[in-house]
Structure 1
Amino acid sequence: MDDGGGARRLRGDAVTLAHGAGGRAMRDLIDEIFLKAFGETRVSGLEDQARLALDAFGGGTLAFTTDSFVIDPIFFPGGDIGKLAVCGTVNDLVVGGAKPVALTCSVIIEEGLAFADLHRIAESMATAAAEAGCRIVTGDTKVVPRGAADRIFVNTAGIGAIPADRSLAARHIRPGDALIVNTTLGEHGAAVMAARGDLGLTSALQSDCRPLGELVEALLEAAPDTRAIRDATRGGVATVLNEFAAASGTCCRIAEDKLPLREEVRGISEILGLDPLYIACEGLFVAAVPQAQTEAALAALRKRSGGEAACQIGEVVATPQGRAVMTSFFGGDRLVDMLEGEQLPRIC
């Protein structure tokens, strides 16, 4: 397929793991297959949630999102597939400014999964939903033969209500805005890779998997003119920066020496030859905030669990438009492009 100018965007004849990695290949798959088939779905500017006007119900805006989880292993330091499913879906709502209301839970279970594991996952989902301030209200269960799945896959959808005075979207970002994060990079992906055991890695690192609602509310109270927020899952912080830049026609410029990074994550990244900017997070968001409100935003985040390491990693500038750029430790600049290919399969 081409992009209208003759350039082929989907390469080859079949889906590869790269098409699920959160980078450029996945974006091309979505654009060329699903958006073309489904028609006008860009009403939300490809944010993490659709936003639907509720005129028939007296006004307001409904946020609606869905996600599927296929992580390996299904239990990992700091969480499991159940907690991950709830947090991932809730976070896609709250970064749009929504207050979560209800979730669905659909599971595809491989024959042979122990009841004890299923109980553990269900209880984990209930606990995470309660922490996020919402309920799991409906769902579906399917069982497939041994070998037709990998223990369990989970799909969750979520709905939330966006207050009338909020309009968070990447298109609102403008030059001069500060780029901030609430915590350290790459903890989820690094913890899951270490937990797989096939590389002989040992680490006390835990996934940062958590619901972000309380942190987002604190941010918006302290910095009410926040332009956009997005959680950095597949594709990591680098993908968020590129999405911000593309949607706003600006450049997201960051500094390598400003990136908050645990030594354990740095070490695992070096062993595996990975760039922490592209490693998945499950409790980290990137926000574009007006410079005048940045200090208040950071102070508010640092007072709360999951926000202690909040910091500014860069700022938005005018050029080069649609790109992300990083100033290295040595003072040189390099482009931070969208993730190419597949980096960490089955990470969420």
Structure 2
Amino acid sequence: MAPNRTILILQNTLALVIGTAGGGLFWWLHMPLPWMLGALTATMIGAVSGLPLRGPQRIRGVVVAVIGVLLGASFTPALIGQAGAWALSFAGLLAYLALSLVILIPLFRRLGGFDRPTAFLAAMPGGLTEMIELAEAARADVPKVILAQSLRIVTTIALIALWFRVVQGLAVGQAPLKAGFADLAWRDMGWLAGAALVGTGIGLWLRLPAPTLLGPMLVSALLHLTAITESAPPGELVIAAQVILGTLLGCRFTGIRAAALLPALALSLGATLVMLAIALGFALSLQALTGQSADQLLLAYAPGGLTEMSLVALALQAEVAFVAAHHVLRILVVIVAAPLLFRLWQR
């Protein structure tokens, strides 16, 4: 085995050991979303401290596919029947995104000292990969965009979890797991594995945003809506997936020094608080009109990642389909509109 390959395996192993320890510690302390947030926190601290950590990127697709199958298991015919009533909350989401940009771009410009392209792409609540590609094309400061987008996702997850745990008094712990490996029939395991494999292929073929999540989620939803299976992925596998996902998020901070992270964290915290405050305002205003609770709308509008916010919704036993649909719409709108808006804004 080549030395660089051996080093990579050791770095991956060290990151996963630290992530698992952090998840176990958060679970022992009864913290919100313990396995994901614990792994994220532990590996982020290790990465910033200079430990040679590297996230296991090669298995990320498998991990996200498992979570996609889990989320698809939450779809029910009764829930899908309400989809037509979501149009008003979709419209509110678009207004929320526009208002957030109007406020956040000047914030990044004045408080962060970002140039115009960097401020625009740092404020845009899209997917990290898409924003990096746009930043490179626009000749923006790519490291600043990566840091702003990564910290937005991390701080959103943490603040949302703490809001529901501390302010609302709700149990935001481990997402409810229906069964372990020993409780699942081989037939159900086969259907769930097929949903992950076939769904991933469909997602990549259709070029969906977050294809390894959305593809398996859609196939899993179809299986559950048609009652072909009523099972979810085994609990042990879901815990492992959340630990790996948290580890991958924490390892994004490798190579970033604490001196550079603290000012960026303060700016990101401020920007995230602004977005969450706007989201809460929209949620309170629209709950009577949409028939959805303010909590549900807040989860749908919160500027976190699709995978992570869907897991938070699952942990709160909220309507995962409603929350996921809004985050998919947000990502699609950002992917399509961001380049057009940027060109107009530059002019």
TM, length-normalised to structure 2: 0.24
Question: Which is richer in helix?
Answer: 2
Question: Which is richer in strand?
Answer: 1
The structure showing larger relative contact order (alpha-carbon pairs under 8 Å, at least 6 residues apart) is 2
